[in-house]
Amino acid sequence: MAKILIVDDSRTSRKILRGILEQNGHEIIGEAVDGQDGVLKFRELQPEVTTLDITMPIMDGLEALQVIKKDSPDANIVMVTAAGQQNKMIDAIKYGASEFVTKPFETEEILRIINKFNK
Amino acid sequence: MVNHLFGNYLVNAGIITAEQLEQAFELQKKVRVKLGLIAVAEKLMTTEQSEEVNRLQSVMDKRFGDIAVSKGYLTDEQVGRLLGLQGNPYLSFANAITESGYMTLEQFEAAFADYQKSLEFTATDMEAIKSGDSDRIIPLFLPEIDNMQLEHVLMAFRTFIRLIDSDAYIGKGSIAASAKTNGVALQSLDGDKKATLCFAGEGDALLTIANPFAKEEFETVDLDALDAVAEFINCINGMYATRVAPSLNVDMLPPSYKDGVDSIASDAMLMLPIYVKGKEVLLLSKFDGEITL
């Protein structure tokens, strides 16, 4: 079981992701609605895994990723992307993202990735 | 989709009732198309030959195809091809209508020919409709648009079928300057290609997207429901951006949505009605321009 922070501006995406993870034994310790909120919640909650949507208002996922990795280089960050954001995925790898999941969410894909941090 | 498009024609022409059409849809979901009906529809056997094989089948423990081959009505190769057609949506609908006793196969085919005349479509167009392939059907109901926009619309509908409702079907598309709605969700693409994809609909029509996508039961088109519609658009655009990625760099802007909006406008946007669960939602697509609220 991993303690997870979900950062996504879409309530729908947060709810679907929370549902998949909780039903499979993971604990959602917080949710954030944009990158700025995500950075604050990360510092406060120190999650084992953070899921970070790329396309968000105020502060996008790539910017939040850089701030979090600067604070906590060992942070496990799973970027959440719509398909079609290959360029941003490359940038996310450069900035230290651990993994990616794509929307629409596939339960098996999400669990396969989150379970990697659950050893 | 052929069952809805042609089925609505049959109802509007007074050939069957709306209730009969609904019952035929129900039957279509349950029943496998009979090989004999396909053989007659494909003009490989006569109705009399098919009925004879059916009679023999009722007293012999043999398959229709085996009996038809033994009687010399079909070859093994033809049986193989007919078996491949058993999932064909046109034939499956024909089967449901004829099995229900609403029409004979001859009447069904004659009405389909009248339907063709009413649409002023070619035989090739009608083959596309019979195929049930939305990628072949949708262009027949759209005004002329560029190929990239068409690909975007086709991808949107395929995703609609996959994630929202496999029974959805389209109406006639048009170029429109405005559309009435109750709430709206949209997302723009930037970069090498500028485009906006939007879903609108009057009353609570947008819930037909929001509820299945979010797996919730929203009762009104509020911000939470529109967020779900926006996320659905985000998925469509993501797949579209992937498709065009080898040649174009397309950036996805954050999806947006607004409740309380009662109309949307553009100088000329493509408007494609999609029918789902008795409601009409509007797919609005604008390339190289903006959609405003």
With beta carbons less than 8 A apart as the criterion, state whether A12 and B213 touch. yes
What pTM value is reported for the model? 0.82
Please count the residue pairs, one from chain A and one from chain B, whose beta carbons lie less than 8 angstroms apart.
64
Residues in A touching B237 (Cβ below 8 Å): 82, 84
For residue B34, give how far its alpha carbon lies from the nearest alpha carbon of chain A (Å): 37
Residue matched to tokens 């493509």: B270
Report yes or no: B151 and B240 within 8 Å, Cβ to Cβ. yes
Chain B partners within 8 Å of A16 (Cβ): 214-215
Check which CATH number belongs to the domain holding B253 and give it. Answer: 3.40.1550.10
Domain closes at, from B99, B133, B167: B133
Write down all domains in chain A, each with its CATH number in brackets.
3-117 (3.40.50.2300)
Q: HEC string of B202-270? A: CCCCCHHHHHHHHCCCCCCCCHHHHHHHHHHHHHHHHHHHHHHCCCCCEEECCCEEECCCCEEEEEEEE
A21 and A106 Cβ atoms separated by less than 8 Å: no
Please state, in angstroms and as integers, the Cα–Cα distance from residue B105 to each residue in A19, B47, B64, B109, following that order: 49, 9, 18, 6
User: What is the complex's ipTM, to 2 decimals?
Assistant: 0.80
Domain boundary among B86, B114, B133: B133
Other Cβ atoms within 10 Å of A109 Cβ, number = 14
**3-state SS class at A117:** helix
Predicted confidence (pLDDT) at residue B241 exceeds the cutoff of 90: no
Subunit contact B231:A9, Cβ cutoff 8 A: no
Tell me the CA distances in angstroms from B158 to B131, B137, B154, B196, one per residue in order.
15, 12, 6, 18
**Mean pLDDT to the nearest integer, B198-226:** 95
**pLDDT tens profile B107-156:** 999 999 999 999 999 999 999 999 888 999 999 999 999 999 999 999 99
Tens of pLDDT along B47-80?
999 989 988 876 666 788 989 999 999 998 898 8
Structural domain of residue B171, as residue ranges? 137-287
Residues B141 and B283 in one domain: yes
